[in-house]
Structure 1
């Protein structure tokens, strides 16, 4: 029988089909000493800002009209029921006194992992700055009511995962003071890059630990915390190495200035500030702090965070809350939408398996990197528009690839396929929507194979195997026919 001879050919065909099925598809982008909190103020008295000075006592009249912690929790649960199709509610942990830290996720696929950027808003970091918790609930309800009829709302819901934590410090709010139930300022409780603040996790506040664990669980691209007592968009660094009041920019200073300016210019009057040029400020220039949340986010989470002061008064009258919401509405929406509308987005794949890998992305001249997600290998790199950037994707065990992009006012989609170390294959350049090719750092012109080239290769191979298979079938059929009907014997001469 000749059938066993066909088994190797059929096995090759199956392997080719499996390899073809594992090919990647093009991803569409949617988008010294341990100083106490006042160390800088003691050394440089002029650096203290007004919101750290004596504040008027918070009276019952001031509190009236604000949601209590119980009412806020009820509002969050009510939102989850009313907008269940585009949201989910969950707790990231508990406060010192056991209050759940409730969060809302808004997306067309809430709770699911997608190759999309994620943004988080955090309110009420300081207990005596409750404006953020009210404004963030207004934002959630506005998105719920308008995502089917407003293009900007639809863009956010369909192309991002927005997480909202209305109150990080419910105990401080209930006590009407800045710190939490242990009287610790939560925006001084994070590990610090310049001083070994809070290195012992056992001494860190539960609210702080909850935020840090949250960032490890979710792959946030950017975020913002809402405060009161001034009107300005604050960006890293928040402190300086020598604790002096000075401009101390982070590696992504241009990008942070762009983000802060986007918020300020979209605001009703923030950009008109006489105290802060353009309505934005570098934190260390305003006044240095240590153990702040935004710097920790950027360093340890690759998350670009702003600290937004959205009200000149720390605890304004409840009658003013709607006005404050309207003044900040477009700023908040535009900041979240910028994750999709600008920057460089894409996925990183392994050339040998075709599968996504959690590589990292760096930009030449910027000493920071972001990591792609482990689920889809997707990355979302915020960059200031209107400039040319050399983007490098890398991962241990693979050769890095780099390309140059000219980033306009719209987002650029850019996928990378990394060859394993020692690979000798030559490929064609992968084209992307910016019209550039992604070559490795050897500058030899070794490129990628396009998906279409793989397709034709496998189709030709399958056609060849099919032809061989049919040929063997024909030969077998002829042999079987010969055995069943032997030719007549010649007559024997006698």
Structure 2
């Protein structure tokens, strides 16, 4: 039976979870004889109102390192949950979930798109302001990258499964953060926040500034550039814009921050130019030592997000004056507004 190393690792970890975690299959992604499960693995509180932290990978099959880092983070947390008293206590109050391989057929076939030729991160029913030609999403042909899917068609199976799973997790949560892991842009790892659809500031700008400020104070030598995604380009159909807008439209007084980790793959290519001729080369670290370094590189970020989720008073203030100050500081930093 055809399988993926990433899915094999997930299934191996599921067998060893015992009572420390829970696993479910969201759906199956299929193409001909290929049929892969899309797993969601959860740890911690089952209280619907508990704070939630989610990690997602493998939305774009070519960006395989995103799925691999997500699996590595899941494995580390699963082990800590077995013996670390601090993590065990933390997990009594929060919930952490992982969906590492959203597009397993794409990973297997080394394609950006899903089995139907659709870019899942261009597939939500959202139109952007002045997106870049083709890159921002289009409906010309599935033979071209960044294809959105047919106008008016339902979202793709994999995209809808992700949306449903995340919306269920955050529906009643007092505070939720998700981190979607990608690669393929720039020489530096970036933490992007909404919107992808517009260069206009999004409603919870003060939260991202508070989180960035906390990250800078806690780890002043970190290597992430924190910024709005639209500062680089805008796109149609971003799934996280869609989930955020839906959640904000339904729920009042709950905090949800969707983040995207865009790993700077140009640095890998710069250090090893020959890998550009490989199908996976532009998006993944192909040298063994760089691959291992990348798999362990973001453990501190996971730890930080867990701590931030557990201590929202450090960054997610509800004090009106402080919120206004942070929003103004954010606009000056990211949008040049004074």
Mark yes or no: TM-score above 0.5: yes
Q: Who is 2:305 aligned against?
A: 335
Query: Does the Cα contact within 8 Å between 2:20 and 2:81 map onto a contact in 1?
Result: no
Verify: 1:211 aligned to 2:148, yes or no. no
Q: Who is 2:320 aligned against?
A: 389
Q: Aligned partners of 2:247, 2:295: CA distance in 1, in Å?
A: 29
**Gap change, CA 1:292 and 1:206, over 3 Å in 2:** same
Q: Who is 2:259 aligned against?
A: 306
Unaligned runs of 5+ in 2: 130-147, 249-255, 269-282, 324-338
SS in 2 for 1:92: strand
| Aligned counterpart in structure 2 of residue 224 of structure 1, from 179, 182, 185 | 179
Query: Does the Cα contact within 8 Å between 2:28 and 2:36 map onto a contact in 1?
Result: yes
Unaligned runs of 5+ in 1: 1-67, 241-246, 272-278, 345-381, 391-403, 405-494
Q: Aligned partners of 2:184, 2:106: CA distance in 1, in Å?
A: 16
Q: Aligned partners of 1:87, 1:185: CA distance in 2, in Å?
A: 31
Q: Who is 1:191 aligned against?
A: 125
Per-residue displacement from partner, 1:220-243 (whole Å, max 9, x unpaired)? 622110001241111111122xxx
Query: Does the Cα contact within 8 Å between 1:95 and 1:101 map onto a contact in 2?
Result: yes
SS in 1 for 2:96: strand
SS in 2 for 1:330: helix
Q: Who is 1:361 aligned against?
A: none
Query: Does the Cα contact within 8 Å between 1:131 and 1:311 map onto a contact in 2?
Result: no
TM-score (norm 1): 0.49
Q: Who is 1:360 aligned against?
A: none
Q: Aligned partners of 1:70, 1:326: CA distance in 2, in Å?
A: 21
| Aligned counterpart in structure 1 of residue 232 of structure 2, from 286, 299, 302 | 286
Q: CA deviation at 1:338?
A: 1.2
Q: Who is 1:249 aligned against?
A: 201
Q: Aligned partners of 1:267, 1:127: CA distance in 2, in Å?
A: 33
Q: Who is 2:69 aligned against?
A: 135
Q: Who is 1:104 aligned against?
A: 41
**Gap change, CA 1:329 and 1:266, over 3 Å in 2:** farther
1:83-162 paired onto structure 2 within 5 Å: 83-97=17-31, 98-107=35-44, 109=45, 112-147=46-81, 150=84, 153-162=87-96
Q: Aligned partners of 1:189, 1:135: CA distance in 2, in Å?
A: 24
**Gap change, CA 1:267 and 1:153, over 3 Å in 2:** farther
Q: Aligned partners of 2:228, 2:28: CA distance in 1, in Å?
A: 32
SS in 1 for 2:298: helix
| Aligned counterpart in structure 1 of residue 197 of structure 2, from 211, 226, 239 | 239
Considering Cα pairs closer than 8 Å and 6+ residues apart, tell me whether 1 or 2 has the greater RCO.
2
TM-score (norm 2): 0.70
Verify: 1:317 aligned to 2:286, yes or no. yes
More helix per residue: 1 or 2?
Answer: 2
**Gap change, CA 1:316 and 1:259, over 3 Å in 2:** same
Aligned length: 271
Per-residue displacement from partner, 1:76-103 (whole Å, max 9, x unpaired)? 1221221222101111122243421111
Q: Which has the larger radius of gyration?
A: 1
Query: Does the Cα contact within 8 Å between 2:43 and 2:95 map onto a contact in 1?
Result: yes
What CA RMSD, in Å, does the superposition of the two structures yield over aligned residues?
Answer: 3.2
Q: Who is 1:177 aligned against?
A: 111
Per-residue displacement from partner, 1:233-287 (whole Å, max 9, x unpaired)? 11111122xxxxxx4210101212333565677497424xxxxxxx112111211
**Gap change, CA 1:133 and 1:155, over 3 Å in 2:** farther
**Gap change, CA 1:338 and 1:316, over 3 Å in 2:** same
